[in-house]
């Protein structure tokens, strides 16, 4: 999920610096170089494993700590295989070699040992880092600790022993004082002592002024799956350096969010959560936590995947996007539904990148997101579908529907929406709307399912919105003729 623009910029270079475990490292590698290769190749730290190089297995998971305003270091997990090294400038990167306590196991490792959560051992460091990332966060729910390893694949254990370790770690952390201080984590042997020195050390690292010529990159989560080899020797410009790309602001009834925000950033943003209270539930089906920590909104949109989860959600929110030309700082606005032109073709000029996205929050719209894939989590949809709807009495006052996997682009279901507007919300009209919908989609058979299946699935997800949102108005028995 990121942006790919080949425009050159005139910046001046500084060496990339970051703290790797307890040491400051610096490199003059091109910014597009891959963090995983730097860790294993240049630094000879072999605990971080290469499993798939596309963010789908979690064997290369490391922690990335960023200094926040109050001198607190906020840690999140990232997959080092998809991370351009420029993205970790000024960060604290922790690998499995840097999380143990003075040559003994930390509490996470001890719990995994106790519950036999390692067999062949290859995926194990990834799980250790994911759990350690959980420990370093404020999150305290049992679903949260499960989510922390949602991006980690183990082929040996069948996960039951790992789950037991998770429960054990959760139980230990449950008793932490509110806020779970670093001191407490050190005392409880979750992290080593040197973590205390990190904020001071990070402050010493000079911010990279927006500098070199190169490729725009967000989280790298799609770009490095598609073009890793090409990008390795190139300079990269992190999009979150660009103006307005990480801002979130409410202007009247419009909420504007920067395109450089990651999915996790959105979940951590109060304005966003109050606009979309069920966002967490929706995003659980979007990739894994570690990828959500990296992948950006703009990346998901410019990727133009016909099944892009965020594209479909924001189409159904009838969002607008703002495109920025950083060269002359000019920008233009257009509805998201006009952005997707054809298969992987978007209305983005060569010099432009997406700056932000805005949607209406003033109306009391009911929103739902549905997705079905071969594997429920960490998978690409066979079909996804989103809705925002507002009723007036029995009637549909306003409705926006979008679906993925049923057309060459993330599809705004214009005709269906038009048909339903001002109609009574009842099963008969929904069935009729489905007949309209059938005519405006054109799914194809591929690895994610046959065309026939996708047609049936979209019908089901379309109906599912109404059963979920209006259980008292629409009965499933009236919709499904079985």
Partner 1 sequence: MKNIDSTSHLSGKSIFIDDMPEIQGTLFASVVTSPIAHGKLLSIDFSEVESLPGILRTFTYRDIPGENQIGGIVPDEPLFAEKELHFVGQPIALIVGKSDFICQQAKQLVTFDMEILHPVTTATEAFERNQFISPPRTFKMGDPENAWKECAYVFEGTAESGGQEHLYLETQGAYTIPMEKGKLKIYASTQGPTAIQKQTARVLGIPMNQIEVDVNRIGGGFGGKEDQATPWAVMVALATHHLNKPVKMILSRHDDMYMTGKRHPYTTYFKIGLSKENKILAYEANYLQNAGAAADLSPAITERTLFHCTNSYFIPNVKATVHSCKTNLPPNTAFRGFGAPQGMFAIECAIHLSSKELNIPVEEIQKINLLKEGDEFPYGQKVQNGMLDNSWLLADKQWNIAKLQEDIRQYNAQHSLKKKGFSIFPVTFGVSFTNTVMNHARALVHIYQDGSVGISTGAVEMGQSVNTKMLQVAAGFFSIDMHKINIESTNTTRVANTSPSAASSTADLNGKAVQMACNALLHRLKKVAAKLVSGNEEALEITNEEVFFNKKPTGITWKELVKTAFLQRVSLSENSHYATPEIHFDKTIEKGHPFAYHVFGLALTTALTDCMRGTYEIEDVKIVHDFGKSMNQEIDLGQVEGALMQGIGWMTMEEIAYDKNGVLLSNALSTYKVPDLYSAPKSVEIIPLENESDNLAILKSKAVGEPPFNYGIGAYFAIQQAIKAYNSDYSMAFNAPMTPEKVLMGLYEQT
- Region binding partner 1 by CB under 8 A among candidate stretches 155-163, 253-261, 347-355, 398-406: 155-163
> Smallest gap, in angstroms, from Cβ of residue 465 to partner 1?
11
| Binds partner 1 (CB under 8 A): choice among 93, 380, 409, 430 | 380
Nearer to partner 1, 234 or 372 (CB): 372
Q: Please report the beta strands in 243-295, taking only residues with DSSP state E, as ranges in sequence order.
A: 248-251, 254-258
Question: Is the Cβ of residue 20 or residue 464 nearer to partner 1 in the bound state?
Answer: 464
- Is 155 near partner 1 (CB under 8 A)? yes
In whole angstroms, what is the distance from residue 199 CA to residue 216 CA?
28
- Return the range that interacts with partner 1 (CB under 8 A); candidates 72-80, 154-162, 187-195, 332-340: 154-162
Among 61, 95, 368, 416, binds partner 1 (CB under 8 A): 95
Phi, psi of 51 (to 5 degrees): -110, -45
Helices (H) and strands (E) in the chain, counts: 19, 18
DSSP string of 297-349? HHHHHHT--TT-HHHHHHHHTT-EEEEEETTTTEEEEEEGGGTEEETTEES--
- For the CB of residue 376, give the shortest distance to partner 1 in the complex, in Å: 6
Quick one: which of 463, 357, 451, 346 has its CA closest to 405? 451
Tokens 């003033």 sit at which residue? 362
x-marked contacts with partner 1 along 97-126 as a string, rule CB under 8 A: x--x----x---x--xx--x-xxxxxxxx-
Size of the site for partner 1 (CB under 8 A): 78
| 78, two tokens | 């990232």
| Cβ proximity to partner 1, 119 vs 426, nearer residue | 119
Least CB distance from residue 407 to partner 1, whole Å? Answer: 19
- 227 binds partner 1 per the rule CB under 8 A: no
Q: Which residues contact 6 (CB under 8 A, 6 or more apart)?
A: 215, 350
Q: In this chain, which stretch among 7-15, 186-194, 273-281, 448-456 interacts with partner 1, using CB under 8 A? A: 448-456
Q: Which one of residues 245, 346, 461, 474 is an interface residue with partner 1 (CB under 8 A)?
A: 461
From the list 176-184, 260-268, 272-280, 453-461, the region that binds partner 1 by CB under 8 A is 453-461
For residues 231 and 260, is the Cβ–Cβ distance under 8 A? no
Span near partner 1 by CB under 8 A; candidates 15-23, 149-157, 202-210, 269-277 = 149-157
Residue 50 binding partner 1, by CB under 8 A: yes
Integer CA distances (angstroms), 434 to 157, 398, 410, 429, 472, in order: 44, 17, 18, 8, 20
Phi, psi of 448 (to 5 degrees): -90, 0
Beta bridge partners of 78: 62
Q: Does 384 bind partner 1 (CB under 8 A)?
A: no
Exactly one of 175, 178, 375, 392 binds partner 1 (CB under 8 A); which one?
375
Q: Which DSSP string do the residues of 124-190 spell out, in sequence order?
A: HHHHHHHHHHHHTSS---HHHHHHHTTT---SSS-SHHHHHHHHHHHHHHHTSPTT--HHHHHHTTS
Alpha-carbon gap, residue 276 to 82, rounded angstroms: 29
Please tell me whether residue 157 binds partner 1 under the rule CB under 8 A. yes
Give the shortest CB-253-to-partner 1 separation in angstroms.
Answer: 33
Smallest gap from residue 248 Cβ to partner 1 (A) = 30
**CA distances to 331, 364, 385 from 313, in Å:** 24, 17, 8
Q: In the complex with partner 1, which residue's Cβ is closer, 120 or 334?
A: 120
Instruction: Give the number of other Cβ atoms within 10 Å of residue 148's Cβ.
Output: 27
Question: Interface with partner 1 includes 442 (CB under 8 A)?
Answer: no
When asked if residue 46 is in the footprint of partner 1 (CB under 8 A), the reply is yes
Rounded CA-CA distance 17/28 in Å is 9
Site stretch for partner 1 (CB under 8 A), options 167-175, 194-202, 340-348, 452-460: 452-460
- Return the residue of 32, 47, 258, 410 that touches partner 1, per CB under 8 A: 47
Site string for partner 1, 228-267 (x = CB under 8 A): -x--x-----------------------------------
Place of tokens 């054809």: 342
- Alpha carbon 378 to its chain centroid, in Å, reads 11
**Which of the stretches 148-156, 242-250, 320-328, 338-346 binds partner 1 when contact is defined by CB under 8 A?**
148-156
Distance CA 111, CA 189 (A): 12
Q: Which two tokens stand for residue 299?
A: 């990346």
Near partner 1 by CB under 8 A, which window of 14-22, 262-270, 353-361, 367-375?
367-375
Binding of partner 1 at residue 6 (CB under 8 A)?
no
Please, which residue, 241 or 303, has the CB nearer to partner 1? 303
Residue 170 Cβ, how far from partner 1 at the closest point, in Å?
14
**Region of residue 36 (left: phi > 0; alpha: psi -120 to 50; beta: else):** alpha
Residues 53-82 that bind partner 1 (CB under 8 A): 53-54, 56-57, 59
Residue nearer to partner 1 on the CB measure, 153 or 366: 153
- Distance, in Å, from the CA atom of 414 to the CA atom of 434, rounded to the nearest integer, reads 12
């Amino acid at each position: 999920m990121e942006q790919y623009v080949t425009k050159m910029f005139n910046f001046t270079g500084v060496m990339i610096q970051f703290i790797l475990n307890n040491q400051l490292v610096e490199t003059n590698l091109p910014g597009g170089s891959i963090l995983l290769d730097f860790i294993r190749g240049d630094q000879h730290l072999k605990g971080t494993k290469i499993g798939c190089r596309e963010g789908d297995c979690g064997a290369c998971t490391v922690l990335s700590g960023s200094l926040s305003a109050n001198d607190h270091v906020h840690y999140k997990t990232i997959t080092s295989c998809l991370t351009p090294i420029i993205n970790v400038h000024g960060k604290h990167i922790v690998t499995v070699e840097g999380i143990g306590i003075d040559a003994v196991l930390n509490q996470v490792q001890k719990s995994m040992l106790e519950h036999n959560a390692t067999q062949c051992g290859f995926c194990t460091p990834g799980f250790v880092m994911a759990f350690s990332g959980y420990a370093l966060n404020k999150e305290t729910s049992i679903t949260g600790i499960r989510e922390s390893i949602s991006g980690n694949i183990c082929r040996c254990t069948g996960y039951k022993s790992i789950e037991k370790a998770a429960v054990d770690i959760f139980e230990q952390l449950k008793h932490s004082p509110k806020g779970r201080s670093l001191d407490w984590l050190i005392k409880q042997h979750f992290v080593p002592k040197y973590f205390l020195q990190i904020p001071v050390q990070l402050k010493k690292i000079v911010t990279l002024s927006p500098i070199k010529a190169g490729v725009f990159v967000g989280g790298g989560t799609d770009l490095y799956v598609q073009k890793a080899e090409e990008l390795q020797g190139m300079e990269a410009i992190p999009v979150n350096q660009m103006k307005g790309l990480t801002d979130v602001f409410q202007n009247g009834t419009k909420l504007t969010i920067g395109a450089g925000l990651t999915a996790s950033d959105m979940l951590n943003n109060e304005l966003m959560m109050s606009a979309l209270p069920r966002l967490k539930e929706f995003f659980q089906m979007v990739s894994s936590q570690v990828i959500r920590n990296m992948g950006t909104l703009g990346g998901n949109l410019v990727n133009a995947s016909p099944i892009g989860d965020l594209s479909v959600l924001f189409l159904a929110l009838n969002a607008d996007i703002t495109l920025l030309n950083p060269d002359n700082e000019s920008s233009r606005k257009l509805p998201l539904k006009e952005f997707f032109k054809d298969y992987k073709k978007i209305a983005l000029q060569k010099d432009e990148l997406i700056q932000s996205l805005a949607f209406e929050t003033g109306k009391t719209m009911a929103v739902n997101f549905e997705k079905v894939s071969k594997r429920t989590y960490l998978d690409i949809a066979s079909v996804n579908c989103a809705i925002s709807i507002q009723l007036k009495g029995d009637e549909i006052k306003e409705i926006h529907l979008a679906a993925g996997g049923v057309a060459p682009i993330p599809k705004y279901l214009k005709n269906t929406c038009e048909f339903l507007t001002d109609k009574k919300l009842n099963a008969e009209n929904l069935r009729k709307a489905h007949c309209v919908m059938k005519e405006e989609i054109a799914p194809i058979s591929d690895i994610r399912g046959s065309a026939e299946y996708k047609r049936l699935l979209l019908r089901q997800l379309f109906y599912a919105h109404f059963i979920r949102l209006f259980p008292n108005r629409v009965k499933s028995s009236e919709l499904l003729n079985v």
